[in-house]
Amino acid sequence: MQQISEYMSKLVIVGTVAFDAIETPFGKTDKILGGAGTYIALAAEKFGVDNAIVSVVGNDFPEEYTNILKDRNVNLEGLEVVQDGKTFFWSGRYHNDMNTRDTLDTQLNVLADFQPKVPANYQDAEIVMLGNLHPLVQLEVINQMKSPKLIVLDTMNFWMDNALEELKQVIAKVDVVTINDEEARQLSGEYSLVKAARKIQEMGPSYVVIKKGEHGALLFHKDEMFFAPALPLEEVFDPTGAGDTFAGGFSGYLAKTEDYSFKNMKNAIIYGSNLASFCVEKFGTERMLSLTDEEIEKRLNVFKSLTQFKIDLN
């Protein structure tokens, strides 16, 4: 699907492009390619949409990594390279259950002073995917867009703890929030996810996606609800980037289909779950780089047989 069609929506992706060092019970990596923006783009590009990353790296960021994105038709005009700057670095260790992790190191580096600039040719993009970053950066991107049809926000508890008012300003301006279950509870003050989603909708977004990791994802819109399971896997090798890959699959599918109805958003979270189920099969971005269209379509059939049933009432 990597042929770009001029008829599809443009997608602007904001998020970190970074170095990750990961430890899981299965092994350990040195600094490898990572970051929310990277994972989102590597998922979204599977839909052949015209997408651009807005982010920042230092001049320590290798051409090899830049080429990975360029080769997949990710526009990098908005990827600022700071001379004498160092790229954002995150290091973490997963526990045996793979559901919890400790952050070992975070070095903001060039991210500390990041001023996002959306390339002129992408300011008219239809879809904006705001990956996890400081809410003021996300807000600045929204302000540079001309008339986006759909703004999707991903965020995390760190910003609720440290920049709640700014985060609420962003939430008020977006159409879809994707957030994990604990964060939804923290943001809303409600334990029930049904109530939490309703409260978050009252803050602005008409769609709320609650990610439950290995337990799947829920989509809420008014009084409607849809659930996409995570694919039960024999082995989760490395969960890093799964949530971002989900967001990338979600926004990439919407950009490809240009249909923002609840009905089509169901399909978008199925595709998000589909791509995320591949992401965790290998370390870092490795699996996403080898992933083919045929594998994605085959796994769609697995998702169908996992969830579709037919009861004939008598």
Map the footprint of a second copy across residues 209-228, applying CB under 8 A. Answer: 212, 215-216, 218, 224-227
User: What is the CA angle 187-176-44, rounded to 5?
Assistant: 120
Instruction: Classify residue 268 as left (phi > 0), alpha (psi -120 to 50) or beta.
Output: alpha
Residue 202 as a binder of a second copy (CB under 8 A): the answer is no
Residue 93 as a binder of a second copy (CB under 8 A): the answer is no
Site string for a second copy, 6-45 (x = CB under 8 A): ----------------------------------------
Residue 97 as a binder of a second copy (CB under 8 A): the answer is yes
Task: Tell me the C-alpha distance between 17 and 37, whole Å.
Answer: 6
Per CB under 8 A, the list member of 236, 255, 275, 288 interacting with a second copy is: 236
Of the candidates 292, 248, 298, 308, the one whose C-alpha atom is nearest the C-alpha of residue 273 is: 248
Residue 306 as a binder of a second copy (CB under 8 A): the answer is yes
Of the candidates 13, 51, 273, 49, the one whose C-alpha atom is nearest the C-alpha of residue 131 is: 13
Site string for a second copy, 147-186 (x = CB under 8 A): ----------------------------------------
| Span interacting with a second copy, options 65-73, 200-208, 282-290, 297-305, rule CB under 8 A | 297-305
Task: Tell me the C-alpha distance between 7 and 258, whole Å.
Answer: 10
Task: Tell me the C-alpha distance between 312 and 314, whole Å.
Answer: 6
Task: Tell me the C-alpha distance between 252 and 254, whole Å.
Answer: 5
In the complex with a second copy, which residue's Cβ is closer, 16 or 267? 267
Q: Which residues bind a second copy (CB under 8 A)?
A: 96-97, 191-195, 212, 215-216, 218, 224-227, 229, 232-236, 266-267, 270, 297, 300, 305-311, 313
